[in-house]
Amino acid sequence: MLRGRESEQQAIDVLLDQARAGRSGVLVLGGEPGIGKTALLTYAGERAQDMRVLRGLGVETEAEIPYASLHLLLRGALGHLDALPEPQAAALAGALGLAPARADDRFHVGVAVLSLLAELAEDRPLLCLVDDAHWLDPASAVVLRFAAHRLHAEGVVMLFGARDGFDPGGLPERRLSGLDDGSAARVLADAAPGLTGSTRLKILKESAGNPLALLELPRTADLPFYDHSPLPLPERLRLAYAARVGRLPQAARTALLVTALADDGDLNMITKACAALGVELAALGAAERAGLVTIAGRQVRFAHPLMRAAVFQLSTYDLRLAVHQTLAGLLADRPDRRAWHLAAAATGPDEAAARALEDLARRAGERGASVSACTAFERAAELSQDEELKGRRLLSAAVHATEAGQPQRAQRLVEAATALVPATSARTTLPKLRARIALDQGAPHLAHDLLLKGAADVAGDDRAAAGLMLVEAARNANRFGDAARLVEAADRLRELDLRPEDDLDLARQAALGTALLLTEGPAAALPIMRELVSKGSRITPEMHSRRINASYFALQTGDFQAAWEIARAAADECRANGELGKLAVLHITLAASEIFLGRFTDATATATEGLHLTAETGRPSRAGCMRGMLAWIAAARGDADRCAELAAAAHEHYDANGIVNGLAWAQWARALLDLGLGRHAEVLDRLETALAGPARHQFQAVHFAPDQIEAAARLGLPADRPLRRYEAWAEASGQTWAQAVLHRCRALLEPDGERAHDHFRTAVRLHAGGGHPWESARTALVYGERLRRDRHKGAARAQLRAALETFQRLGARPWADRAGNELRAAGDTGLVAAGADALSALSPQELQIVRLAAAGRTNKEIGAQLFLSPKTVSYHLYRAFPKLNVTSRAQLAGLDLA
């Protein structure tokens, strides 16, 4: 019976009941060793007799073996792999070593795990218990967190038990504290009913309410360490366990050590290893009778993870080596585990063990397990006798450390490798790696200098390597808004004698075009960028980074439809392949193009999903841009509180990493909010401040100009500089919608009424092509205002009504209010506020699902595309139908979901 855990038991019961009703839930139970996490997981398993139950755990000795913990959890469910879509089944089988590994994004494995859990819950609810989650191998931890975040309506419960050090990644968490005095006393009375007097009081005090201490300390209460000053509780438990192990005969202690080092508690493997060491299986029975291990279902488990540590600490060095050597000899068919046992058995340089670890590291890298790959390469280097091999392995470890987001570790590895790698590698590989580390550590200027110096050092021997460094330097300088360094890199690139076989033509053109925009202006740069966009639309899927560049340059040229189409095609392929890391980057261009195309609901959905992806894929530097765009949408819709919150968060991201894109959106968002609320002086102050900082070199800066011009016109101030800036860009862009906005700006600043009306009429005519409703509505609004002031009320009403309807459809409340007020002032007394757009009532995820369902996709197909389970898709459709006033999927096809 559990004592003092009624609240936690109730929380678990609620999750299980919800699962029986078809809802999913997740909970991380955290706390110090012995606090009761395992007991609560056991309670959950006992309460789930009517459910399917999967049990897994993190194993300390397997923490560097990719997907080891995932295999333990899913090993009883692998017969259901055939029910998954083929790419998911192949990715998961490859990760678990059941099929050849694929070079998939590791999140494809997470999608497969989610689908498998949903499949297992089809006929009855599913409970997943993961104990000792702090020892999960990093690859397993990533995919389990990924799947847990996406559980919703499958009837799946995931419970994790973890000590401090486990990153819950935003999952619901409950930390366990010590039992209250009454509960602690009852636990002690149950464990040692005859215990009285000072010993009982001392144990109650020393245990601090830790249940395991209350159970274990009475068995060793006569040990002399109780006479000394108090020790930290986990250390007391280790000492208590050590005392119990020390009482066993040597054969039993050897059997326990085999169990501690045999990774997954496989009784068959433990039996074979004991036999090879001359230990009879009866020795393990003695440990079982002492209550140190349990044996059930061909599995041997320690009574508590601390027991494993106590067994290891009490063993001798020579015995540990012997056990590792024995296990390595028995694991020929399990190369990852064999490699680590070989390494543990090595007493000095050992090339056989080093090669085994290097092979393991490569397999881990192919499966996206960068942390495991880094650790294996680093240990392989330690076992290397050949200095060049050692340096190469250290360098590989450093590469994987950067991929894993561990710049300090990567820095240490690079320094260790520097003196060992050949001169060629030192000149071509080390500068790029050091620059990447510098960027990750928030030192962009150092990164730039490292790349330029590296390029200069290899230019004579390897033009392509030098060109790649210079392209990377230019790209980084642009991300950080450093115009001088961008131009410097571009000048060096222009001087480099690159040839077609170097395959750098497009990258070089991109860097030079970006620099030209700064030095010579839009007329010189935009033709080059349009050529890149044209080439980008024909690029094959394998050239992913080039398509990202093409979509970005489409934004620069104002061709937002092309930007969206290129990014959307690439994103669809990423979804099909489960490449979430690449998808997170594409969401920046997708959301931006949707904003400019006036698809605010779509942009909200894209940026919101992108924000989740940046967290899940370890790309926090992208989060500032997502939040900046969401702040802009909130500003257009008049949500001042949300705009302020998101803009502040975007600014914090800039302060942390120096990437300017998100800052530019955030600064523009604050100004747009002011413009919508009629605070025109504040608009000018904000945008002048932004243009004095690094945002002036971002593509958003040119779009500040129409807002500056409108605010200045309201205040009766000149706006020659922003008008010239926008004229230069709009004329070079060749975009019809940009010409329309330019005429609107000229009309706002034109004192002569007739010439102003000519500009307005031209703007309205150019907007007639459609595609940019936000800009078209803004033109109609200011034109209607001018017509009303000039006493052309009939014509004014036509423009103002068009503006009102569009603003209402976009959810742009301040702008709709302004249009409505003007329309009433123009004599439209029959004005009735339009109802809210039905799509605006949908959540971003519901909108995505409804559109795919309307296109005829099945729930399974929708789930595969959006990384959700089919049941979650069904749940969101069920919620969306009433909002859209439909009752079936067939009716969706008749709705305007654009």
**Of 232 and 809, more confident:** 809
pLDDT of residue 835: 44
pLDDT at 190: 86
Above 70 in pLDDT, residue 81?
yes
Distance CA 232, CA 230 (A): 7
The first and second tokens of residue 317, run together, are: 């060095």
pLDDT at residue 368 greater than cutoff 50 = yes
CA 35 – CA 4 distance, rounded (Å): 11
What's the pLDDT score for residue 836? 47
Q: Indicate if the pLDDT at residue 878 is higher than 80.
A: yes
- Name the strand (E) or helix (H) holding 130: strand 126-131
Residue 37: closest CA among 236, 210, 235, 224: 210
pLDDT of residue 887: 82
Name which of 426, 474, 464, 469 is nearest 450 in CA terms: 469
Place of tokens 């423009």: 799
297 conformational bin, left if phi > 0, alpha if psi -120 to 50, beta if neither: left
Hey, what are 871's tokens? 């049941």
Write down the pLDDT at residue 233: 65
> Which pLDDT belongs to residue 682?
97
- Answer whether residue 17 shows pLDDT above 90: yes
Nearest to 206, CA basis, from 175, 231, 242, 241: 231
pLDDT digits (tens, 9 = 90+) for 644-671: 999 999 999 998 888 899 999 999 999 9
Q: In whole angstroms, give the CA distance from residue 850 to residue 871.
A: 14
DSSP 419-440: TTS-HHHHHHTHHHHHHHHHHH
Q: Worst-scoring range by mean pLDDT, 214-228, 296-310, 614-628, 876-890?
A: 214-228
Q: How many angstroms separate the Cα of 857 from the Cα of each of 836, 853, 873?
A: 27, 5, 11
Separation CA 178–CA 159 (nearest Å): 20
Among 523, 514, 518, 524, CA closest to 555: 514
**Mean pLDDT, to the nearest integer, of 142-158?**
92
**Per-residue model confidence as pLDDT tens digits over 211-263:** 888 887 787 645 443 344 455 667 777 777 888 888 899 999 999 999 999 86
Q: What is the widest separation between alpha-carbon atoms in the chain?
A: 106
Residues 6+ apart with CB under 8 A from 519: 487
Residues 805-822, mean pLDDT to the nearest whole number: 93
As a whole number, the mean pLDDT across the chain is: 88
User: Higher model confidence: residue 611 or residue 670?
Assistant: 670
Give the DSSP H or E segment for 606: helix 600-616
Highest-pLDDT range among 309-313, 430-434, 626-630:
626-630
pLDDT of residue 860: 83
Name the band, by pLDDT with cuts 50, 70 and 90, for residue 830.
low
pLDDT of residue 238: 76
pTM for this prediction: 0.82
Structure tokens at 772: 């940019």
Give CA–CA dist 53/55, Å, rounded. Answer: 7
Per-residue pLDDT tens for 513-561? 889 998 999 999 999 999 888 887 666 555 667 788 889 899 999 999 9
pLDDT at residue 163 tops 80: yes
Tokens 């039905």 correspond to 838
**CA nearest neighbour of 544 among 519, 564, 569, 512:** 569
Radius of gyration of the chain (CA): 32
Mean pLDDT lowest for which of 96-105, 126-135, 599-608, 799-808?
A: 96-105
pLDDT at 224: 40
Cα dist. 800→135, 486, 600, 787, 788 in Å? Answer: 63, 45, 21, 10, 10
- Say which residue, 884 or 391, is predicted with more confidence: 391
Backbone angles phi, psi at 29, to 5 degrees: -95, 115
Closest C-alpha among 878, 880, 870 to residue 151: 870
The predicted pLDDT at position 100 comes to 78
The larger pLDDT score, comparing residue 342 to residue 369, is at 342
pLDDT in tens, 759-786: 999 999 999 988 899 999 999 999 999 9
Neighbours of 837 (CB within 10 A): 14
Instruction: Indicate whether 151 pLDDT > 70.
Output: yes
pLDDT cut 70: percent of the chain above it: 95
Rounded average pLDDT over 428-453: 88
* Least confident stretch, 196-205, 450-459, 849-858: 196-205
Read off the pLDDT of each residue in 387-400 and give the average, rounded to a whole number: 94
- Token pair in block for residue 616: 């899940």
Structure tokens given for 782: 């200011």
Q: Which two tokens stand for residue 190?
A: 């149950």
Percentage of the chain exceeding pLDDT 90: 53
Q: Which of 230-244, 326-340, 826-840 has the lowest mean pLDDT?
A: 826-840
Q: In degrees, to the nearest 5, what angle opens at C-alpha 834 toward C-alphas 829 and 835?
A: 145
Average pLDDT of the residues in 614-624: 78
